[in-house]
Amino acid sequence: MASGRKRAMLRHMLINPLFAEGLHVALLRRMRLIRSEDRAEARRRVVLGVSLAWLPLAVLATLAWLGLGNPDAAGFFSDITAQARYLLAVPLLIVADYIVLPRLKALAGCFGGSTLLPPSRQDAFLELMASSRRLSAGPWPSTIVALLAYATVISLAAALPPAEWAAWQSNPVTHARSLPGWWHLLVSMPMVLGLTLSWVWRWMLWVRVMWRLSRMGPVLVASHPDHAGGLGFLAESARAFTPVVLPLAVIVAATMAHNLVLTGQTAVGHEATPVITAVLAVVITASPPFLFMRVLLAARHLGWERYGELARSMGLVFEARWLDGKTPVDDTTLERPDFSATVDLYGIVTNSCDMRLMLFDYATIVTVAISALLPFAPLWIAAVPFDQLMDKLVGMLV
């Protein structure tokens, strides 16, 4: 009975996502504003997000510009930061739910019902998956994220003097916050910040999952061909977060572009911002699997000891048979299985000797770095004169 119940719980865990949907998504589903199909659901959420974050700003700015005669309100449409946040970052952060969460679920699911964990730890694994869902769902996580978002926005608004507000956010006569400015403060900014904080919370939960799994006594095989004891698949976790890295890099790049436009500068000479963004993206996304370093180190040391002795014993037998003249060398020597068996064994021993301690691969790191650097590319393309750019392109092709 107990084993049947455990199998049922494991099937339930594999069917359901590792991280539950946020409270706002559950409410939208109950209100029939999103459908069960992922594509239709994502489309509705994106439309709803843009309709709340960007569309009212555009309408209010247009009314203030054409209806109230405030020419500064037209600056909203040329505000690079606002357009990037609410037309690009918000939809991308929403769509990331349907890309990242299934990937993380698949990675965590590799531990369930497999030999990676001892049978005695399967109950602890199921409890870990259940607790992760509880911590990612319900009213408390969503409420805390909303409170943090509004607290941050209000603090920034209080610290920023009216003279530093964007022109379209203030009334030119009273110098008070305009209707677009109030919507930006109370709806748009908290929304993009809330989406960002939600992903920060999910990343923290993923770190918790990695930390707890690393302490469940995973059964590692030092000679595994992935050179990671069988945990090489976790290196993909960094790549799984690239759909989140891209919109966050868009926000940083747009802020940088806005500042460059205000100061009349070009991106040339400001390479530090994209480099720091890429480095932070790589470190943050690739670091959770490093929590397995302790068990990997123990497995490698044990592998060196056991496989080293096995290789030595095999080598002694091989040399005694073929180098001490006990076995004659003739035309049939190359057909003997001793050589292939020795080569195969030494290949296995080599795997244990080459076992790595950090679960990452360079292709994944490059993918994350490109995702972080891609939004900055237009800034450098705009900084290079068109004729020089064409000359360089022609030079590369010729």
Is the distance from CB of 212 to CB of 75 less than 8 angstroms?
no
CA distances from 142 to 35, 105, 147 (A): 21, 21, 9
Integer Cα distance of 308 and 302 in angstroms: 10
Q: What is the mean pLDDT of residues 81-88?
A: 94
Q: Taking Cα atoms as reference points, which of 39, 34, 51 lies closest to residue 90?
A: 51
Q: How many CB atoms lie within 10 A of CB 22?
A: 21
The CA-to-CA distance between both ends of the chain, in Å, stands at 73
What local confidence, expressed as pLDDT, does residue 59 receive? 95
Q: Taking Cα atoms as reference points, which of 133, 285, 128, 307 lies closest to residue 218?
A: 128
Q: Taking Cα atoms as reference points, which of 180, 185, 171 lies closest to residue 57?
A: 180
DSSP 20: P
What local confidence, expressed as pLDDT, does residue 34 receive? 44
pLDDT in tens, 154-209: 999 888 887 778 888 888 777 788 899 999 999 999 999 999 999 999 999 999 99
17 falls in which pLDDT band (50, 70, 90)? low
Distance of CA 145 to the CA centre of its chain: 19
**Domain chopping of the chain, boundaries:** 1-219, 221-398
Structure tokens at 80: 């690079």
Structure tokens at 377: 């590319």
The SS3 call for residue 177 is strand
pLDDT in tens, 339-355: 777 888 888 888 888 88
Average pLDDT, the chain: 84
What local confidence, expressed as pLDDT, does residue 361 receive? 87
